[in-house]
Amino acid sequence: MARRDAMPRPDAEATDRPMIEMIDVHKWFGEFHVLRGISLSVGRGERIVVCGPSGSGKSTLIRCINRLEEHQRGRIVVDGIELSDDLKHVEAVRREVGMVFQQFNLFPHLTVLQNLTLAPIWVRRMPRAEAEAAAMTYLERVRIPEQAHKYPGQLSGGQQQRVAIARSLCMSPKVMLFDEPTSALDPEMIKEVLDVMVSLAVEGMTMVCVTHEMGFARTVADRMVFMDMGEIVEEAPPVEFFARPRSERAQLFLSQILEH
Amino acid sequence: MRPLAAESGTHRPALPRVLVQARLWLWSNLFGSVGNTVLTLAAVAALAAIVPPVFTWTLSNAVWGAQPAAACAGIDGACWAFLHEKHRLILFGRYPFDEQWRPLAATALLIALLAASAIPQLWRRWLSAAWISGLLAGGALMWGGVFGLAAVPTKLWGGLPLTLMLSVVGIALAFPFALVLALGRRSTLPMFRAAAVAYIELIRGVPLISLLFMASFMLPLFLPGGVTVNELLRAQVAIALFTAAYLAEVIRGGLQGVPRGQYEAAQALGLGYWRAMAFVVLPQALRLVIPAMVNTFIGTFKDTSLVAIVSLTDLLLATRQAIADPLWRPYFLEGYVVIALIYFGFCFSMSRYSVFLERKLRTR
């Protein structure tokens, strides 16, 4: 089966291998060197919170993991599949990696249920009835099954973001990426989204979150990654990171966001 | 002048409710201010000047029915006898007279299919089957040569069926091509982008008439001897290619209106380029540009009248041929008024339908 050889398959035995491995990754936007030699390894079931001042490259970093951005140097390997120009590899990675965006990015012309079943039906080739049943299960998990037949525009921001999380889960991803999932929400809706994320973490999902929610980071993260100017400045367990940040830049950042 | 309020009944005999409402309406819509009153009076004067003569011309002074041209001489009204005499020529051109039930049936079939396709409840799989069988049946009716129908060469086709066919088939062929061009123009691959840009700019930079001329007179020069392409087909293809260039730009406008995050979300779900376009981006993009697309369609419908330049007898040329009869020549206005109404009927229906569709597809 030549096709199978061409398509790198994650072998189930290699559970000791990291889920995501980034080795000396560089990226430029034109002249602007946005990622400067990022090396990061995320183990299976590990929860990483990436923080840092705006413009530090955190969003770009996680967008490289499912190749919404291309890196220009270094290697990124997700679940044993290396991201390269080969579209087959890219699509294989995207099938295994879920992503939640700051702006939700639900499809406004489709109902909530259709948003959830689109990819399972067309990418996973799941029969419609099965996809709908699975979608309802996930909607119950994010506690909005009653909204299944509404359109995204009829939901509140918090509800939309929970639908977006459910939509990603419907593809049974091995990793979830969160790109500032609560930054566009009104304060009273942040908790309902964070609750869903915490429950995912509790169930053992591998997660990489870019967020400013330090309370969430403290509860959930196995490791904090602090970025500044396109580099990873500090990596530490949250207790250590919040209590004794080693770098000056992390100290400054923490003092700024924890002040109020 | 003061608007009547409900309590006015206390010092006046109570008016029936309808009258009170009518006076309120008049007050608020027509005579509310000096400016409004002036405008209202001016409009009334204009209507008084226009409506009675039009009425007299079209109806009271008109000559109706099967009358010789002489009956219209010297009258101060419309000579509808002209239409009685020539309507078959206007509607069906030079299609053999005794066979004209065939283009009539084909036109009725086409209009029925269009009407059915306009109803969202009927957007089912069988509708495409209906279109395929409808087009086959229509083609069989027009061409003949099967089921004992006499063969009628395309150069005898004409009138309304020709106009409808050129526009409907032209739009149907142009649409998929325009999608490809619009996507090509936004492609990240320089070769596709350059090809799409070159095509669109080249075709848009040339009048349709010159395309029709080229298709009719230049194309045969480049084809090997003995190979001929039907002139109707050549005009049809020219119309489709021309419409596609305009439609592509309209669709590109729609694509630009869909936020980038939509495409990214589809990519992140693993949908890939084509499925992301088909299920996520294009449905939103096309919805955004319904008015502009209908604008293009209406333009195409009216532009089909240019095929007269390559001797295809569309609705307009057929009318001109009817007027060319020396006996009826004075009554050209009647002919033009009627085909203007036909064109208007189709264009206005398209325009209203676009409004309906926009409202129907508006996401809540």
Region A55-78 average pLDDT? 93
* Burial class of residue A44 in the structure, from the number of CB atoms within 10 Å of its CB (0-12 exposed, 13-18 middle, 19+ buried): middle
Selecting from A66, A106, A154 the residue whose C-beta is nearest the C-beta of B268 gives: A66
| Confidence tier at A178 by pLDDT (50, 70, 90) | very high
Average pLDDT score, chain B: 86
Q: Give, in order, the Cα–Cα distances in Å from B187 to each of A84, A204, B155, B304.
A: 20, 40, 42, 32
CB–CB contact A109 B267 (8 Å): no
Between helix B315-323 and helix B81-92 the angle, nearest 10°, is 140
The whole-number pLDDT of residue B9 equals 46
Could you tell me the sign of the dihedral formed by the alpha carbons of A229, A234, A235, A239, in that order? negative
B1 pLDDT higher than 50:
no
Question: Per 3-state DSSP, what percentage of chain A is helix, strand, and coil (rounded to 5)?
Answer: 40, 25, 35
Q: Which residue of B has its CA nearest to A108?
A: B363
CB B90 within 8 A of CB B144: no
Q: What DSSP assignment string belongs to B27-86? A: HHHTSSSHHHHHHHHHHHHHHHHHHHHHHIIIIIT-B-SS--GGGGTT-SS-BTHHHHHH
How far apart are the C-alpha atoms of B304 and B158, rounded to whole Å?
Answer: 12
The whole-number pLDDT of residue B13 equals 67
CB–CB contact A153 B364 (8 Å): yes
How far apart are the C-alpha atoms of B14 and B8, rounded to whole Å?
Answer: 8
CB A178 within 8 A of CB A100: yes
Residue A39: strand, helix, or coil = strand
Q: What are the chain B neighbours of A138 within 8 Å (beta carbons)?
A: none
Q: What are the chain B neighbours of A95 within 8 Å (beta carbons)?
A: 270
Q: Which helix (H) or strand (E) is B104 found in, with range?
A: helix B101-117
B234 pLDDT higher than 80:
yes
Query: Is residue B284 less than 8 Å (CB to CB) from chain A?
Result: yes
Percent of chain A with pLDDT over 70: 93
The whole-number pLDDT of residue B10 equals 53
Q: What DSSP assignment string belongs to B119-178? A: -GGG-SHHHHHHHHHHHHHHHHHHH--STTPPP--GGG-EEHHHHHHHHHHHHHHHHHHH
Between helix B101-117 and helix B160-185 the angle, nearest 10°, is 40
* Structure confidence by residue, pLDDT tens digits, B156-170: 888 899 999 999 999
Selecting from A94, A105, A151 the residue whose C-beta is nearest the C-beta of B261 gives: A105
For testing the chain A interface, which of B262, B263, B269, B358 should be mutated: the one with the most A CBs within 10 Å? Answer: B269
Buried-exposed string B250-285: b where 16+ CB fall within 10 A, e elsewhere: bbbebbeebeeebbbbbbbbbbbbebbbebbbbbbb
Q: Residue B250: which residues within 8 A CB-CB, separation 6 or more?
A: B178, B289, B292, B293, B295, B296
Selecting from B259, B261, B268 the residue whose C-beta is nearest the C-beta of A94 gives: B268
Query: Is residue B96 less than 8 Å (CB to CB) from chain A?
Result: no
Buried-exposed string B331-343: b where 16+ CB fall within 10 A, e elsewhere: beebbeebbeeeb
The whole-number pLDDT of residue A150 equals 93
A171 pLDDT higher than 90:
yes
For testing the chain B interface, which of A83, A86, A103 should be mutated: the one with the most B CBs within 10 Å? Answer: A103
Lowest average pLDDT, out of A117-121, B147-151, B234-238, goes to: B147-151
The whole-number pLDDT of residue B77 equals 79
A260 pLDDT higher than 90:
no
Q: Give, in order, the Cα–Cα distances in Å from B73 to each of A203, A230, B79, B337.
A: 94, 90, 9, 19
For testing the chain B interface, which of A118, A151, A183 should be mutated: the one with the most B CBs within 10 Å? Answer: A118
Region B134-161 average pLDDT? 85
CB A230 within 8 A of CB A28: no
CB–CB contact A99 B268 (8 Å): yes
Q: What are the chain A neighbours of B280 within 8 Å (beta carbons)?
A: 107, 118
Comparison of pLDDT for B156 and A226, the residue scoring more? A226
Comparison of pLDDT for B9 and A204, the residue scoring more? A204
CB B148 within 8 A of CB B99: no
Q: Residue B339: which residues within 8 A CB-CB, separation 6 or more?
A: B90, B315, B316, B319
CB–CB contact A94 B270 (8 Å): yes
Q: Which helix (H) or strand (E) is A210 found in, with range?
A: strand A206-210
Strands A47-51 and A73-78 come out as unpaired
pTM: 0.83
Region A72-78 average pLDDT? 93
* Structure confidence by residue, pLDDT tens digits, B104-127: 989 999 999 998 888 888 888 888
* Structure confidence by residue, pLDDT tens digits, B308-332: 888 888 888 988 888 888 888 888 8
CB–CB contact B268 A97 (8 Å): yes
The strands making up A223-228's β-sheet, listed across from edge to edge, are A97-100, A175-179, A206-210, A47-51, A223-228, A231-236
A9 pLDDT higher than 70:
no
Q: Which residue of B has its CA nearest to A99?
A: B268
* Structure confidence by residue, pLDDT tens digits, B277-302: 999 999 999 999 999 999 999 999 99
Q: Residue B82: which residues within 8 A CB-CB, separation 6 or more?
A: B69, B72, B322, B328, B331, B334, B335
* Structure confidence by residue, pLDDT tens digits, B193-223: 999 999 999 999 999 889 888 888 877 777 7
CB B363 within 8 A of CB A153: yes
Buried-exposed string B171-195: b where 16+ CB fall within 10 A, e elsewhere: bebbbebbbebbbbbeeeeeebeee
Percent of chain B with pLDDT over 70: 95
* Burial class of residue B221 in the structure, from the number of CB atoms within 10 Å of its CB (0-12 exposed, 13-18 middle, 19+ buried): exposed
Q: Give, in order, the Cα–Cα distances in Å from B197 to each of B156, B174, B206, B293.
A: 38, 16, 14, 19
Question: Per 3-state DSSP, what percentage of chain B is helix, strand, and coil (rounded to 5)?
Answer: 75, 0, 20
List B residues 243-282 in contact with A (Cβ-Cβ < 8 A): 259, 261-262, 264-272, 275, 279-280
How far apart are the C-alpha atoms of A220 and A12, rounded to whole Å?
Answer: 26
DSSP state, A109?
Answer: T
CB–CB contact B279 A118 (8 Å): yes
A46 pLDDT higher than 80:
yes
Calculate how close chain A gets to B256, using CA atoms only, in Å. Answer: 16
In DSSP terms, A232 is beta-bridged to A227
Q: Does domain B152-360 have CATH number 1.10.3720.10?
A: yes
Domain(s) labelled CATH 1.10.3720.10 in chain B stretch across: 152-360
* Structure confidence by residue, pLDDT tens digits, B43-90: 999 999 999 888 888 887 777 877 787 777 777 878 887 888 888 888
| Confidence tier at A33 by pLDDT (50, 70, 90) | very high
Whole-complex ipTM: 0.89
Calculate how close chain B gets to A127, using CA atoms only, in Å. Answer: 16
